[in-house]
Chains A and B, each alone.
Chain A
Amino acid sequence: MQLKIQYYALMREQAGRSEETLETASNTPADLYGELTARYGFTLAREQLKVAVNSEFSDWSRRLAAGDAVVFIPPVAGG
């Protein structure tokens, strides 16, 4: 299925892009993070991140559907 991925901050720099549409067999955000870490060499462990699907916080085990927009959220530092 196709997913839309957006990257921010450190992960944007490590992926070398701010977004992409991806054909993937990953069914959950957790699987997807593993797949993308193998591709881009993300240095953050999954336990340090949160994940959003369709602009709302999500569980790592959520079943992804075609067309979902996924954003991995590195440790935040607002203020």
Chain B
Amino acid sequence: MMRFRFTQTAIDTAVARHELLDLGAGGYVSFEGWVRDHNEGQEVTRLEYEAFQELAVKEGERIVAEALRRFPVKHALCIHRVGTLGLSDMAVWVGVSSAHRGEAFEACRFIIDEVKHRVPIWKKEHYRSGDSGWVNCERCAAAPRHAHAHGHDHQHHDEPAANHS
């Protein structure tokens, strides 16, 4: 079924949307995640996404299947970019079609939230300062490599630092 998949190239939302068409659907809801120019006080210039694809597609499929069980929607699909992305590029797309809009919004929200928490995908931010860092990994590491020299904070961030939310 491939209701969760990766692409190395730009996400074609017109093609993706077509997969959700259903005579019983009264509409569809989509979410696009874009690369933002800042995160946690740093100016971001580009991102690199990397995934453990064999497991990521299984976990992504499970999330979409869960959404289809929990909400009475027609179809759902999630596509995630990997590789290097520039500002305003689309990193992720979620689409859900349904008879009525309420459950489509809920299912779409459920899918993007679960994908961000569960699917083995990583994001390296490159900053205008020339520095770079893996989101959720560097500043909460047990012993950051530069912590002592530069006094970076050791605060643990429970919530993933979303790039677009």
Contact = CB atoms under 8 A, between A and B. Distances in A.
Nearest to B113: A79
A10 to B, nearest CB: 4
Contact of A45 (B115, B121, B142): B142
Given A56-B58, A75-B160, A8 B140 contact: no
B153 interface: no
Given A9-B50, A9-B137, A57-B55, A78 B142 contact: no
Nearest to B118: A76
B144 A79 contact: no
Interface residues of A, number: 22
A48 B140 contact: yes
Interface of B: 33, 49-52, 54-55, 58-59, 80, 91-92, 112, 115-124, 134-138, 140-145, 160-165
Interface of A: 6, 8-10, 12, 43-45, 48, 50, 52, 55-57, 71, 73-79
